[in-house]
Amino acid sequence: MVAGVDEAGRGCVIGPLVVAGVLVKEENLPVLRQLGVKDSKLLSPKKREALFTEIARLAEKHHVVKLLPSEIDRAVECKRKLHKLNRLEAQTMSQIINALNPDEAYVDAADVIEERFKHHIQEGLTVKAKITSRHKADKIYPVVSAASIIAKVERDKEIEALKGVYGDFGSGYLTDQKTMRFLRQWLQTHAEYPSCVRQSWKPAKQVKNEKGAVQKKLA
């Protein structure tokens, strides 16, 4: 059995970081290519949803973990370097690999050093699985592409649910002006960000500091 593990939403300031794993029989790996499975960022939302169904049907099982902004903030703000976001993601991937129990797992390395990321994953394993940690694994291994699609579709669902509560804040990414405008407008009428915002992200802190500076001038 072969597993692929990837994430969606790592760079977002709004919403969860979703990590997904897919377990596939080795003989079914070519079928993923035939389905047109590739990096989720290269696919339209409609195509991702269609492939999600096909992947779920083909896979022996899949496992998804959603890391809340509060969990991410704790990891980012922790003073010990070993417990930053990369370590949190590695621990989550360990959890997923343990749940899938593959013979081999391919993961998209979040760390600049692939082997270090692999080591952090291995620290949390309770199963005997060979780990291959590669940058851009979602573009190299179809089984990781499949996990990328599962993660992206699950995150998109979370984002749509949040928009039902807070209104249209855009994609949730820092490069999205609608997202940054939402953060500024929210703080005009609220003392704190809502729980869906990653408050440890520097741009989110900067927006909050700007508000504080304006209030001091008005005082």
Query: What CATH code would you report for 167-211?
Result: 1.10.10.460
Residue 218: pLDDT band (50, 70, 90) is very low
In the chain, which segments carry CATH 1.10.10.460? 167-211
Looking at the domain that runs over 2-162, which CATH code has it been given? 3.30.420.10
Q: What is the pLDDT of residues 106-137, one digit of tens each?
A: 999 999 999 999 999 999 999 999 999 999 99
pLDDT at residue number 42: 78
CB atoms within 10 A of CB 25: 12
Q: Where in the chain is the domain with CATH 3.30.420.10?
A: 2-162
> What are φ and ψ of residue 108, in 5° steps?
-85, 110
Measuring CA to CA, which residue among 35, 13, 8 is closest to residue 142?
35
Kindly list the strands in the beta sheet with 130-134, ordered across the sheet, starting from the edge strand earlier in the chain.
61-67, 17-24, 2-8, 104-108, 130-134
CA–CA separation, 178 vs 166, rounded Å? 13
Is the pLDDT at 45 greater than 60, yes or no? yes
Distances (CA, A) of 57 to 53, 128, 131, 146, 151: 6, 26, 24, 12, 16
pTM above the 0.75 mark?
A: yes
* pLDDT at 121 (0 to 100): 97
**Structure confidence at residue 219 (pLDDT):** 46
What pLDDT shows up at residue 41?
79
- Give the pLDDT confidence score for residue 77 in this predicted structure: 85
How far apart are alpha carbons 194 and 167 in whole angstroms?
Answer: 12
Please, are residues 195 and 167 in contact by the beta-carbon 8 Å criterion?
Answer: no
Tokens 């010990």 appear where? Answer: 80
Q: Are 88 and 73 in contact (CB under 8 A)?
A: no
Confidence of residue 84 (pLDDT cuts 50, 70, 90): confident
| Per-residue pLDDT tens digits for 169-202 | 999 998 999 999 999 999 999 989 999 999 998 8
